[in-house]
Structure 1
Amino acid sequence: MALSSKPTRPAPKPADPVEAFINKGGSVPAAEPAADSDAGKPAKAPQHPLKFPHDSDLFERVERARRATVVRLPRNTWILQAIAEKLERDGH
């Protein structure tokens, strides 16, 4: 005598499509973390745009000095390094 599993019956479908959608279910959305709780994330550095005066050749002087270095650094890195050197030299 051969054994077979009990046949499964499909769940009855509601006639109303809205009721079918509700019965389909889903997951509850997770709560958004508060803006203050950025645990585990690196702190975002504040950004300060640097503006050079139009009537000054200061920007071109900075670019010439930056291009003259042995290792080409991005402009932002070069400026940050120059600020740090100035602060150290002035004892701040």
Structure 2
Amino acid sequence: MVATYFPGRGTLFEETYLKGKAEGEAKGVLRVLEVRGLPVSDDVRERITSCTDLDRLADWLDRSGTVERTEDLFVGNPEISEDGPGNA
């Protein structure tokens, strides 16, 4: 979880801010993959866009510039169960 230091911590305002930040990170990951010409399946796109873990998204963004296949983004990442919090 990313620590934020502005008035309204733990409020709907902060939740909305963090959701927007996660959406922006996800778009960045997809854009890098697109520019590199790597095909992105619907499953991979859904997995990236539904992720709300900013640390995981930052890792995927870093890795998106070097992976050979889009699925390689997820290799070596510890995963939390699909039904658990912070799922990817």
Structure with higher helix content: 2
Structure exhibiting the larger radius of gyration computed from Cα positions:
1
Same fold (TM over 0.5): no
State the TM-score, normalizing by the size of structure 1. 0.27
Q: TM-score, normalised by structure 2?
A: 0.28
